[in-house]
Amino acid sequence: MFRRDGSHCVALFAPDEVKVLRKVASEVVGLLTEGFDHDDPVVGRLFPDVYPDRPAESDEYRRYTEGDLKTAKIDQAGAVLAALPSSGGCEVRLDAESAEAWLRALNDARLALGIRLEIEDGTDLEAELDKAVLQDPTSSRVFQLSVYAYLGYLQESLLDALVR
């Protein structure tokens, strides 16, 4: 997917890939702006307690850092949206700064999707996908698991291109 071209990381995206990436990035922005709720497990994963055993200190820390962190996450998802056309396929060329923003945005999207899909450390993604396909190959879970796997693949290829 991503490859190194001089100082840039470059990838070609088909129209369906652009749609998926735009949808995922838009959903992260929506979660952080319109649907921001500290009781949502996804928000809890994206903004974990720094001091889990000391709620008052975690709240205090959050009070001073959450706004900047939320803005950064929105900006990173915005970097993905800005690089992709509203329709059709495209070539994306990312400099080091943009590539880092994309990596963070992809990570946030995977974390959010992983929480919604109840994926934990050690989950065998291939087995989960096989099980979902056997139950109902047209289910939204099959699609979401596929997107989760695709985001991981994309994240890994971008990281590989960055370090080359």
Q: Where are the domains of the chain?
A: 3-163
CA–CA separation, 61 vs 58, rounded Å? 5
129: pLDDT strictly greater than 90: no
CA–CA separation, 2 vs 17, rounded Å? 13
Per-residue model confidence as pLDDT tens digits over 80-106: 999 999 999 999 999 999 999 999 999
What's the confidence (pLDDT) of residue 113? 95
Q: How many CB atoms lie within 10 A of CB 81?
A: 16
Q: Which two tokens stand for residue 9?
A: 């990381």
CA–CA separation, 13 vs 124, rounded Å? 27
What's the confidence (pLDDT) of residue 125? 82
Q: How confident is the model at residue 3 (pLDDT cuts 50, 70, 90)?
A: very high
CA–CA separation, 60 vs 57, rounded Å? 5
